[in-house]
Amino acid sequence: MIPTCKIIITAVLQFTWGALQTTAGAVLTLILIKRRHFIYRGSVACEWGRGESLSLGMFIFISEQAQDRLREELCAHEYGHSVQSMLLGPLYLPVIVLPSALWCMFPACKRHRSRTGLSYYGFFTERWANMIAEGLTGEPFTLLI
């Protein structure tokens, strides 16, 4: 259980320093209000119908298709991105979100990953989120590598 003071500090950081991404996450959460929501380490997590997962400030969106251990690792990984949001503030969108989105969806990047066998999680933004999550959970990642 995370102490209430840490949750309050996290929320203040996310709604001030990380206001752009947290506002976008809040709007998306309201759009997905009928989906399953839960709290993960002080962040609002929402299951959605997309195959990808996403973090916008203190709001994380997890593929509803993920099961068991993968779901746990995805929550931790996306929370790692939430920590990046707190560290980078307004730089989170251009430094983390934009490169990650391109690495995920740009056809040339998909071909490169397929051709080289490189994991999506080998990209710097994703490796960093995994390192943060492993440090916070104390659990090594086995699926998101």
- Cα–Cα distance between 24 and 10 in angstroms, integer? 17
Residue 8: pLDDT band (50, 70, 90) is confident
pLDDT digits (tens, 9 = 90+) for 28-79: 999 999 999 999 988 999 999 998 899 999 999 999 888 878 888 999 999 9
In a domain, 143, yes or no: no
Please state the domain count of the chain.
Answer: 1
Q: Provide the domain limits for residue 100.
A: 4-137
In a domain, 114, yes or no: yes
Beta partners for residue 45, in sequence order? 38, 60
In a domain, 145, yes or no: no
The pLDDT value given to residue 2: 66
In a domain, 60, yes or no: yes
In a domain, 144, yes or no: no
